[in-house]
């Protein structure tokens, strides 16, 4: 049976990020669905667009009321709906790995494969502990976004980044951290569509959804390493793989590689689509 690929975006992003990938997959005869996780569009206000920073900083956010269960529930609901049409392959990028891992823990019987594209797959630690590890110290993203942060995430209960306020030097730092392959003009399109508000997932027991051996561990899983990634360093990607393999040695990660920055593959998705095309044969043959 032909699988359906369900794409889950990363932090500060939306379903729109997968558009080129979906076109490439469609050209290869695949069904796809890209999700908007809860709260997409939060922060896109008049104050944000006009850069009225005093007003923007004081505005509430829908993100402050969202929970890990809301994000997991969105993925579970999507899987349950498309499962009626055949096998399901979940594909996560970056932060999207957190709700995807939680969904895999909840409904392993409905998922035929999970694919992590430089995505978070916590096993031995709370998700928020990984960015504090020495292996993540080379990441350029935190330093690039720090000057654009609005407010205190701990106090306000959400993360707010003023992407539109980045000057040329700050945009250059962001581009280097996120997608160094893009030209300055191409990266402006990324800035325009980046979501200002995000959930504050770094702390709190409600976000502690680690891969479970008896549920997540039953599902075949692939990790696509992005070898030029400066947002999630290769050492951290390899740590997720090592921890997952230690958890389920009889069901280790199928590891693939793309020579790409953290988000560069979105613009040139043919290589990722080729990997997914190969995995679709296995998902269809192994449909439960």
Helical H segments across 135-180, by residue range: 141-145, 153-156, 168-178
pLDDT at 288 over 50: no
β-pair type (31-35, 113-117)? unpaired
Q: What percentage of the chain carries pLDDT values higher than 70? A: 97
pLDDT at 37 over 80: yes
Q: Which CATH class is domain 4-285?
A: alpha beta
pLDDT at 68 over 60: yes
The rounded mean pLDDT for the chain is 94
**Per-residue pLDDT reduced to its tens digit, 193-252:** 999 999 999 888 999 999 999 999 999 999 999 999 999 999 999 999 999 999 999 999
pLDDT, residue 283, reads 64
pLDDT at 28 over 70: yes
Average pLDDT over residues 252-280: 96
Judge contact between 237 and 229, C-beta under 8 A.
yes
Cα distance between residue 98 and residue 19, in whole Å: 21
Question: What number of other Cβ atoms are within 10 A of residue 265's Cβ?
Answer: 26
H or E stretch including 33? strand 31-35
Cα distance between residue 88 and residue 79, in whole Å: 7
Q: Where are the domains of the chain?
A: 4-285
**Per-residue pLDDT reduced to its tens digit, 71-93:** 999 999 999 999 999 999 999 99
Cα distance between residue 268 and residue 262, in whole Å: 12
**Per-residue pLDDT reduced to its tens digit, 134-176:** 999 889 999 999 999 999 998 999 999 999 999 999 999 999 9
Residues 6+ apart with CB under 8 A from 44: 195, 196
* Residue carrying the six token digits 């390493």: 225
pLDDT, residue 204, reads 85
pLDDT, residue 131, reads 93
pLDDT at 192 over 50: yes
Average pLDDT over residues 56-68: 94
* Residue carrying the six token digits 């569509």: 193
Judge contact between 254 and 281, C-beta under 8 A.
no
């Amino acid at each position: 049976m032909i699988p359906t690929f369900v794409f889950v975006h990363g932090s500060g992003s939306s379903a729109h990020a997968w558009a080129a990938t979906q076109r490439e997959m469609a050209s290869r005869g695949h069904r796809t669905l890209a999700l908007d996780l809860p709260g997409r569009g939060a922060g896109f206000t008049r104050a944000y667009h006009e850069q009225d920073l005093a007003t923007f900083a004081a505005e509430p956010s829908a993100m402050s009321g969202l929970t890990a269960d809301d994000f997991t529930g969105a993925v579970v609901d999507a899987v349950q709906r498309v499962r009626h049409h055949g096998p399901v392959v979940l594909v996560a990028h970056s932060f999207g790995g957190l709700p995807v891992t939680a969904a895999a823990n909840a409904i392993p019987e409905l998922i035929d494969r999970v694919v992590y594209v430089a995505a978070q797959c916590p096993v031995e630690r709370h998700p928020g502990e990984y960015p504090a590890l020495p292996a993540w110290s080379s990441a350029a993203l935190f330093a690039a976004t720090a000057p654009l942060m609005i407010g205190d995430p701990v106090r306000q209960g959400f993360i707010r980044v003023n992407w539109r306020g980045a000057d040329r030097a700050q945009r250059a730092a962001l581009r280097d951290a996120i997608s160094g392959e893009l030209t300055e003009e191409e990266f402006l399109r990324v800035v325009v569509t980046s979501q200002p508000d995000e959930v504050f997932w770094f702390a709190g027991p409600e976000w502690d959804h680690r891969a479970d051996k008896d549920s997540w561990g039953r599902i075949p899983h692939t990790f696509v390493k992005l070898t030029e990634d400066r947002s999630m360093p290769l050492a951290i990607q390899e740590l997720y793989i090592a921890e997952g393999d230690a958890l389920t040695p009889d069901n280790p990660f199928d590891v693939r590689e793309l020579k790409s920055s953290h988000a560069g593959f979105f613009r040139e998705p043919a290589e990722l689509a080729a990997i997914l095309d190969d995995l679709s044969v296995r998902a269809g043959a192994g449909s439960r």
